[in-house]
Amino acid sequence: MGLALAGAGLVGLGWSGAGRAESPQRWAALYPQDDRRELEGADYARYPGAGVLYCRADGIPRKAAAAWLIGSPRLVVLNAHNFRSRHLEPTRDIADCFFQIGGRNYAFAPETLRLGTVPGAMSLYITDDWALVDLAEPAEGVRPQPVPASPDLSTGSVPVPVVMVSPGGHANYPGQSSLEACTIHRIDAPSEDAIRRVRHDCNNGYGGSGSGLFDTGGRLLALHSASLSMNSRRAFDIEYHYGSALLFEGGLTEAIRARLAADPTVR
């Protein structure tokens, strides 16, 4: 089994322990060095599927997390914990949410939501913290992110340079979006659906769920899920202070390909 989102000090970035996003008044990074910067025009061309999940609270739309248009102008990939708690209790109705990309808002087709958890699961783990959902209408004027190929990365402690792309930004960063060069330090053994968790040192904060980890060639490798000890400005520690993401492989990529095979907009 993978590590559940309910570990001590472990938080999915779509919520805080109290179920609310942390106040944006705290601009404290996770690690002493913070090299995040705002996404620019060339970045959106390099990472074309970058979008943002918005959800309404008391009728007011609020930025919730990062989300990605992948493989077609309809398919959105994001974290399951945007809609379920760590114990799989409903926290949001996807009908109250929408996807923003290329300056336009798109409604979801709620009946198409698929979570990465298997029937009968009792907890949400890092490696099944993914969800797929179709847009009600295809996005216009934007290119989707190419379907990620299963990464040719070895399990174990081999550093992998990456770029964390966070189209929704973070509550502990003053910009509206962010990009940072950082490192994957360990790839754990496969767990749910033959998906591996990676441990990384990318700065992030509440609202950064679903950020993409890309290799230096611009290939999407992993979907950020949660971090330990938020906003602490402590040095990275492989056991006690790190970020967790799930690789695009196993059951996740199989589900993406199956959804695209049934999508007429792909043909």
Q: What is the CATH number of the domain that holds 107?
A: 2.40.10.10
Query: How many separate domains does the chain show?
Result: 1
* 220-266: pLDDT as tens digits: 999 999 987 776 788 999 999 999 999 999 999 999 999 999 887 76
The whole-model pTM stands at 0.91
Q: Which pLDDT does position 8 carry in this prediction? A: 30
Any domain includes 17 = no
Q: Which pLDDT does position 18 carry in this prediction? A: 26
Any domain includes 125 = yes
Any domain includes 33 = no
Any domain includes 12 = no
Q: Which pLDDT does position 116 carry in this prediction? A: 97
Q: Which pLDDT does position 112 carry in this prediction? A: 97
Any domain includes 85 = yes
Q: Which domain covers residue 95, as residue numbers?
A: 48-147+250-266
Give Dmax over CA atoms of the chain in angstroms.
Answer: 49
Query: From CA 139, how far away is CA 261, in angstroms rounded?
Result: 18
Q: Which pLDDT does position 94 carry in this prediction? A: 97
Any domain includes 234 = no
Work out the angle at residue 204's Cα, subtended by the Cα atoms of residues 56 and 37, and round it to the nearest 5 degrees.
100
* 168-196: pLDDT as tens digits: 999 999 999 999 999 999 999 999 899 99
Q: Could you tell me where the beta strands, DSSP code E, fall in 88-173?
A: 97-101, 104-107, 114-115, 131-134, 160-166
List the chain pLDDT tens, one digit each, 267 residues. 555 553 333 444 333 222 333 344 456 789 999 999 999 999 999 999 999 999 999 889 999 999 999 999 999 999 999 999 999 999 999 999 999 999 999 999 999 999 999 988 999 999 999 999 999 999 999 999 999 998 999 999 989 999 999 999 999 999 999 999 999 999 999 998 999 999 999 999 989 999 999 999 999 999 999 987 776 788 999 999 999 999 999 999 999 999 999 887 765
| Amino acid, res. 96 | D
Alpha helical stretches, state H, the chain: 41-46, 250-261
Query: From CA 179, how far away is CA 96, in angstroms rounded?
Result: 28
The dihedrals phi and psi of 193, each to the nearest 5 degrees, come to 55, 35
Any domain includes 254 = yes
Any domain includes 86 = yes
Q: Which pLDDT does position 86 carry in this prediction? A: 92
